Structure 1
């Protein structure tokens, strides 16, 4: 529904006893399948979004590749300690209503933001959808459901290129991929249909609260 699949999938992988890095790369590989389901389920909201998809697809792909390379080339370290603050900030940003009624196209800052979120998603994965949704929903004239659909495509692209890198060079727990990927595809395909039937304001608040809960959980894991 809103890019919070990793709120459940990443901790579930950790609970099976996988090391953090292995759980991270396995989760990213599985999120590729989740992204496919989410993008397919968002087709009604994606009508007319072709120009924005084309504008921001390359930054998303480049960010995902850069983030994956960063994870493969550097040891586990302090980056995880800033993750709770990124997620918490994104959740708070979702509580601010988007600027409506502006026909002005989004500036280059959105593309830079898409690249940055792609780097984050390629490196860590969990809650990248929250960051992407917060960025797109705060753009001029944004509509939450359309921003959510566009988020599905862009995060799928970033996750996809990162997943390819991890499949080739990372320590993926392949036995965990089929069951988790199957559940993610089913949930992602149904998520947009559920989102269409919920009040937009309630959906925005619900996403923000869930994002803040994830930020607290990640903070406890990283700092305490």
Structure 2
């Protein structure tokens, strides 16, 4: 492995950790980088999931102030992310890539629409006295988090966009609070999926790649939290839409 390759992978990890903390979709940086240097797709995907876990930790810690009062909610949502990530990781090992290629761009496009319409839908809900989360909304929310976790365990790119889209219409919270929740749930998905890969398919793990991406993503989580928390809601939504659109184009083209 050359010095340039090492630096490129660390920088890709830094960018991915930053993007994941602000929005999600950091995998769209690291995964193509690994493919460019000739690593097999399954090995690149699994090693990438492991390498992004440290970035999830620092990103979630960076949003700790927004999460102070949301512990009970996280405890209710976390099991759905955990189960979804296990299912998604297992699907990666048994299904052909074409199985998800058709539906993933549609899911991301729907998530972007929900992010854009989130404030208007939240105002409508407030006008109809829906400030509290009803049992029906909890069921829909948990199912949405489960599906996002499955997608995250399978591939991961734009998982954050999916989560933010789902939460934008179902939770009466500020966008920065939802971003904090997204970071914690995304960290859980990456970590659990990585553990499944270690148990079921350890031969696909490239520990050098894991180490290099971990170094970059660890720093990226810190940078992303500082940048993301400083963004006004309108700018954060704009960034989400731009990155989500790039994700769709990347997956389709």
TM over 0.5: same fold? yes
Instruction: Give the superposition deviation at 1:160.
Output: 1.1
Task: Give the secondary structure class of the aligned counterpart of 2:132.
Answer: coil
User: 1:74-93 residue pairs with structure 2 within 5 A?
Assistant: 74-93=95-114
Distance between the aligned counterparts of 1:116 and 1:208, measured in 2? 20
TM-score (norm 1): 0.91
Contact 1:24 1:125 in 2 (8 A): no
Gaps of 5+ in 1: none
The structure having more radius of gyration, on CA atoms, is: 2
Task: Show structure 1 runs of 4+ deviating over 6 A.
Answer: none
Per-residue Cα deviation, 1:51-88 (whole angstroms, up to 9, x for no partner)? 11011111110000111111123343321332222222
SS in 2 for 1:44: coil
Structure ranking higher in helix proportion: 2
SS of aligned partner of 1:88: helix
**8 Å Cα contact 2:153/2:193 also seen in 1:** yes
1:136 matched residue in structure 2: 167
Aligned: 1:169 with 2:192: no
Q: Root-mean-square deviation (CA), in Å?
A: 1.6
- Give 1:192 shift: 2.0
Calculate the TM-score normalised by the size of structure 2. Answer: 0.81
SS of the equivalent of 2:131 reads coil
CA distance in 2, matches of 1:41, 1:176: 25
Q: Find 2:217's aligned residue among 184, 193, 207.
A: 184
Does residue 151 (structure 1) correspond to residue 182 (structure 2)? The answer is yes
**What count of residue pairs does the alignment treat as equivalent?**
220
Q: Does 1:218 align with 2:251?
A: yes
